[in-house]
Every structure is written in C-alpha cells, then in structure tokens.
Amino acid sequence: MARYTGAVCRQCRREGQKLFLKGERCYSDKCGLVRRSYAPGQHGQGRKKNSEYGLQLREKQKARRFYGVLEGQFRKYFEMAERKQGVTGENLLRILESRIDNVVYRCGFASSRKEGRQLVRHGHFTVNGKKVNIPSYLLKAGDVIAIAGASKNSDKIKAVVEANSAKPVPKWLDVDRQNLQATVAELPNREDIDLEVEEHLIVELYSK
C-alpha cells in the first residue's frame, strides 16, 4: 500500500475527530472538520450503525492515520507490542509515540508529524550526536534529539520553532529551546498520550 496522498482533512472527517495532520490549520476555523463535521463522500451525512468489526477497524485506522503509519508498519508495531511485557494496547501507543518524527512534532520542532517526517528525512536532526534520517527510528529513554549544527541556522526551522514555542510539551520530554535539543526523560504512560482511541479494540481486531 502506497502512502496516502489525498486531502488529509478527509481523514479527520472520516474518523470524526481532529488528527492534527495539517499543523496550524487544524487549530483555526479553516479546519476541514470544523467546516464540515460529517464523513466525506456521497453518504457522509447518512445514519450509520457500525458492527463490532467496524468499530474495531475505525479505532485501528484512527491510530494509524494519527501517526501517519502504513498498514504493514502498524502490524509490525503491534507484533512488537505483543512481545513486550505489560498491556499490549498501551505498549503499541508507546511505540508509536517513540518514533522520532512524532517526538520532533511533540517537541515543537515541527508543526505536524508530516513536517517532522520531512525534516528528519532531510537530515536535520541528530540522536545522541549522530545524524538520523529515518522517520520510523524508535527513541529510548535518555536519548537526546537535537537539530543538526548547520540546520540551526535555517530560517525555515527557526520560524517553525518560534511558531510552536508556546505549545505545551509532554512531561516525558525535556525540551531546551535555547539549544534546540530535547531529551526523552522516559517513555510515556497511557495518560501522557492525548490520542482519543480505545486501544483495546485494536488488540481485539488483530487477535481474531
């Protein structure tokens, strides 16, 4: 399956909640979900009654779209979560949160996860002093993420960091905006993750 290239606001409308896929636009009145708070398509405003499977599928799609992950990747993360100790659903969300493109967004170094992926791919970030250009790179507690030396002088990156300077940062991340770096203090607990998803339904879907 190729990466989705259509209008991302349709994804928010399909899931019935903001997935924050377009940065600042998601916080404004221009948000597609604010303007049209019903599902896209010819039958978007019709009454729908989801089956048990339909509910499980929607929760999986919601989480997958929130983090911008392909179906194959998502399934691999689920299998990884199953092998870990603890609650599988919480393990899954913790793994997704630890992706470097998500952490870059959470730190305010990007306006959206999509922009975070692009910046990581272009080599603008280092982890523990080494350049990382793989958006799916999973961070661990104690890792230090920093904007690479030459990139600190980029007008575009400076503007993005400044624009996001007032946004709250999750407590599991320590951000040093002056030095343009952040430390993963610990991996997040479920209450630290602001995704409105019932992860147990995802577990039930994949357990069939």
Per-residue pLDDT of the chain (208 residues; tens, 9 = 90+): 346 555 665 666 555 665 656 556 555 665 555 555 556 655 556 556 678 998 999 999 999 999 999 999 999 999 999 999 999 999 999 999 999 999 999 999 999 999 999 999 999 999 999 999 999 999 999 999 999 988 998 898 889 999 888 889 999 999 999 899 999 999 999 999 988 899 999 999 998 7
Whose tokens are 């997958």? That residue is 64
Q: How far apart are CA 205 and CA 182, in angstroms?
A: 35
3-state secondary structure of 75: helix
pLDDT recorded at residue 9: 57
Distance CA 39, CA 15 (A): 8
**pTM of this prediction?**
0.79
pLDDT for the residue numbered 35: 57
Cα-Cα-Cα-Cα torsion 53, 4, 140, 183, nearest 10 degrees, comes to -130
Instruction: Burial-class residue 162 by CB neighbours within 10 Å (0-12, 13-18, 19+).
Output: exposed
Please count the other Cβ atoms lying within 10 Å of the Cβ belonging to residue 166: 7
- What's the rounded Cα separation, in Å, for the pair 175 and 188? 15
- Cα–Cα nearest to 152, from 132, 128, 124: 124
pLDDT at res. 40: 61
Q: Is 21 helix (H, G, I), strand (E, B) or coil?
A: coil
Q: What is the pLDDT of residue 166?
A: 85
Alpha helices in the chain (DSSP H): 9-15, 32-35, 52-67, 71-83, 88-97, 100-106, 113-121, 155-163, 199-206
Q: Are 197 and 66 in contact (CB under 8 A)?
A: yes
Phi (first) and psi of residue 182, to 5 degrees: -145, 155
Whole-number pLDDT of residue 30: 58
Q: What's the pLDDT at 1?
A: 37
3-state secondary structure (DSSP) of residue 33: helix
Distance CA 76, CA 43 (A): 33
